[in-house]
Chain A
Amino acid sequence: MSRQMTGAEMIVEALKDQGVETIFGYPGGAVLPIYDALFHQNKVHHVLVRHEQGAGHAAEGYARSTGKVGVLLVTSGPGATNAVTALTDALMDSIPIVCISGQVPTHLIGSDAFQECDTVGITRHCTKHNYLVKRIEDLPRILHEAFYVAAAGRPGPVVIDVPKDVQFAVGTYSAPRGIHHKTYQPKLKGDRDKIRQAVAMMAAAKKPVFYTGGGVINSGPAASHLLRELVQLTGFPITSTLMGLGAYPAPDPQWLGMLGMHGAYEANNAMHDCDLMIAVGARFDDRITGRLDAFSPNSKKIHIDIDPSSINKNVKVDLGIVGDCAHVLEDMVTLWRSGAHEQDKKAHESWWKKIDGWRARNSLAFKPSTETIKPQYAIQRLYELTKDRKTYITTEVGQHQMWAAQHYYFTEPNRWMTSGGLGTMGYGLPAAIGAQMAHRDALVIDIAGEASILMNIQELSTAVQFRCPVKIFILNNEYMGMVRQWQELLHGGRYSQSYSEALPDFVKLAEAYGAHGIRCSDPAKLDDAIKEMIDHPGVVIFDCRVDKAENCLPMIPSGKAHNEMILPDEDDDIGSVIDDKGKMLV
């Protein structure tokens, strides 16, 4: 149906037609017409953030927890530049978001007008695609196309920059029609022959391992179901990246835990020693592979990914299958079921035996204490006390993030939101707000560090305003713990600028914003304090005072291989494990 309306009205109309119920934004001169159009309706709910970066991460949290496209609305100039970190974050972690930004009117573009910036120029490198809309005639098409591009194939952020005169201009709006993009048509189905070949390789494997990533989550819940089915059918062990947690249930015995720099010993050793690696929706990132020339030296590698450029980018594989995880996994399950596979039972038994040996090293162990709260213990208790609820976890970045990934057991996809690729401190609180806006009755917890939380603390005000009862669980170690740990590793324990000095009183801070504050430093009182947090109906900041000196282990030191991990009981002299080459790395 076509109708005459202004550009601003088209934007709101397109949001409705795309099924968007909630957007996150912040007004300003260049988007006032859009805010006026929002004022005249009540279908699209607008959440007023306190900083545009917050809007971006909230849109990410919304997208990641629902599988839908998240939307943010920002003004020109500083509004757009403030969104850049969140856009980059979404690009790195393949999160579908659409950012609508205001721009100065077309006749002023290029004149260094007030609050003008080259938004498409700045965001070209941190978006999947972006548009500057110069004519009202193009606006409806671009709006619908943006949603398609954000969600199709490997998802990512898309910016639509709309000059103010285009928002005022009147034109003909048409609803989205069947999606056919003239150039962008990602391949969903995997090549049948290659899948057949993969299944044959899997049937013949003696020491196989599944290595799965965020692509499985992005592919939708069906992919996770099919993955579970395939893993059960084959009996293979499975590990996953930080971004892929929840696709396979962590309590299951075939689950080896997360892999990579702070992954489990059994997961990394299985990757190193396997004879067949089946990578599904994962991208062989440097946090995962460690030293490349020693990465899983004796294995054949199958790589399933929707993005052809991910295949053979960092690691050369033997069989690359381009396609959507769910589609390819479905074909694999069907093929596996239809064939009678003579698996080498003996070999599998001894492979599992080897894995059990690594497991017995208990690499996530820590020294318990009755004096101080160990951060790992805090996460374990948080898990135990929340696992039977519908719980969504977000994190900030640092040690607490890794402890959350190690010790919180995820059983469902879309329940875990963290900044993996970019490692953005300040992600967790706005992402939690985004997730909570989409799941009003769920328990949403931001597992935070005392340093990270201050990066977007202003969003507390958003949470309170919109009755978004997120729980901020701060593992307060009074340090930028991850920085301190690396300073121990690389710089002789010289803690240059990594002590969190002059911290606010987090309980009072919560109260100042109209939220509830809880503090706990006694392990014996921790359970009751966590229960108080869960039971409180509103926003909570939980200042959990933890051991200040704890390091996050196990760890593959930079520049080392999977089988060269530092284990928790070998960390006496972590200052001497990294060689000069490794010191160059991040």
Chain B
Amino acid sequence: MNAPASPPSPYSSAIGKSNVESHTLSVLVDNEPGVLARVVGLFSGRGYNIESLTVAEVAHGEHLSRITIVTTGTPEVIEQISHQLERIVPIHKVTDLTVGGKFIQRELAMVKVAGKGESRVETLRLAEAFRAKVIDATTESFVFELTGSTTKIDDFVELMRPLGLVEVSRTGVAAISRGPERI
């Protein structure tokens, strides 16, 4: 008995639908089995978007992991997401870095490009401009390692496309606030 996507349901929220924003959330969790499934399940179950999600243990002794989620939604939806995340029992803290103001986001990508002759020179020239490192090379291919913002990596990948882009592996976004404070 699900209502179809359109027309919009009179029961769904009538508050601001147009101003969709991208937010980066930092979530500190107890590193216990199933915690990632809880977070991902929350997003799928409630129909929220995940643009990027990364997770790794950050304090081994305390069994703490940090999940960075880039999501999109109206400010109301983003607030809901934070509150819903806070309800998950093993979650210590949810911080909306975007609301907090100044923060840095980085992604790491490995980009494989194949080609011969002239295009190889052009590839290397561009890689240098992006400060991408060559981490593997054969006579007909390169693998570049590149860190930076999501858009920087997007741009690099687009430039490589006509030069023989083979495949890309990206880590997703990790983020941290600027200044001395911790989240």
Contacts and interface: CB of A to CB of B under 8 A. Distances in A.
State whether these chains interact.
Answer: yes
Interface of A: 120-121, 124-125, 128-130, 132, 149, 154, 182-184, 286, 289-293, 307-309, 311-314, 316, 559, 581-582, 584-586
B11 A307 contact: no
Contact of A132 (B1, B11, B33, B41): B33
Interface of B: 1, 3-4, 7, 9-15, 30, 33-34, 37-38, 41, 45, 76, 79-80, 83-84, 86-92
B51 to A, nearest CB: 21
18 contacts: A124-B41, A125-B41, A125-B45, A183-B90, A183-B91, A289-B11, A291-B11, A292-B10, A309-B87, A312-B80, A314-B13, A316-B76, A559-B10, A584-B3, A584-B7, A585-B9, A585-B11, A586-B1
Contact of A292 (B4, B14, B37, B76): B14
Contacts of B91: 183
B30 A183 contact: yes
Contacts of B86: 308-309
**Best-buried of A182, A307, A584 by chain B (most CB within 10 Å):** A584
A124 B37 contact: yes
A422 to B, nearest CB: 13
B34 A292 contact: no
Contacts of A289: 11
Contact of B79 (A307, A312, A586): A312
Nearest to A295: B14
Contact of B89 (A183, A290, A312): A183
Contact of A581 (B10, B13, B92): B10
Nearest to A293: B14
B7 A581 contact: yes
A154 B84 CA distance: 13
Contact of B12 (A149, A292, A307): A292
A286 B4 CA distance: 17
A154 B83 CA distance: 13
Given A183-B89, A585-B11, 14 more contacts: A120-B34, A121-B37, A125-B41, A184-B89, A291-B11, A292-B10, A292-B12, A307-B83, A308-B83, A309-B86, A316-B15, A559-B10, A584-B7, A586-B3
B37 to A, nearest CB: 6
A365 B10 CA distance: 29
Contacts of B90: 183
Given A124-B37, A184-B89, A309-B86, A292 B80 contact: no
Nearest to B32: A131
Contact of A183 (B4, B9, B15, B92): B92
A265 B13 CA distance: 24
B92 to A, nearest CB: 5
A312 B84 contact: no
Contacts of B80: 309, 312-313
Contacts of A307: 83, 87
Most buried by B among A121, A132, A314: A314
B82 to A, nearest CB: 9
A582 B10 contact: yes
Contacts of B4: 584
Given A128-B89, A184-B89, A585-B11, A309 B84 contact: yes
A120 B13 CA distance: 31
B13 A292 contact: yes
A289 B83 CA distance: 22
B36 to A, nearest CB: 11
Contacts of B14: 292-293
A124 B15 contact: no
Nearest to A128: B89
Nearest to B14: A293
Nearest to B34: A120
B9 A124 contact: no
Given A121-B37, A183-B30, A585-B3, A291 B89 contact: no
A170 B64 CA distance: 29
A188 to B, nearest CB: 16
The interface centre, meaning the residue of B7, B10, B41 with most chain A CB atoms within 10 A of its CB, is B10
Contacts of B37: 121, 124
Contacts of B13: 292, 314
Contacts of B34: 120, 124, 130, 132
Nearest to B88: A129
A183 B35 CA distance: 13
Given A313-B80, A316-B76, A584-B4, A291 B10 contact: yes
Contacts of A124: 34, 37-38, 41
Contacts of B38: 124
A309 B79 CA distance: 8
Contacts of A584: 3-4, 7, 9
Nearest to B7: A581
B10 A309 contact: no
A585 B7 CA distance: 11
B3 A149 contact: no
A308 B45 CA distance: 19
Contacts of B45: 125
Contacts of B30: 182-183
Contacts of B84: 309
A130 B76 CA distance: 29
A182 B92 CA distance: 8
Contacts of B1: 586
Contacts of B41: 124-125
B176 to A, nearest CB: 21
Contacts of A586: 1, 3
A581 B10 CA distance: 8
Contacts of B9: 584-585
Contact of A293 (B10, B87, B88): B10
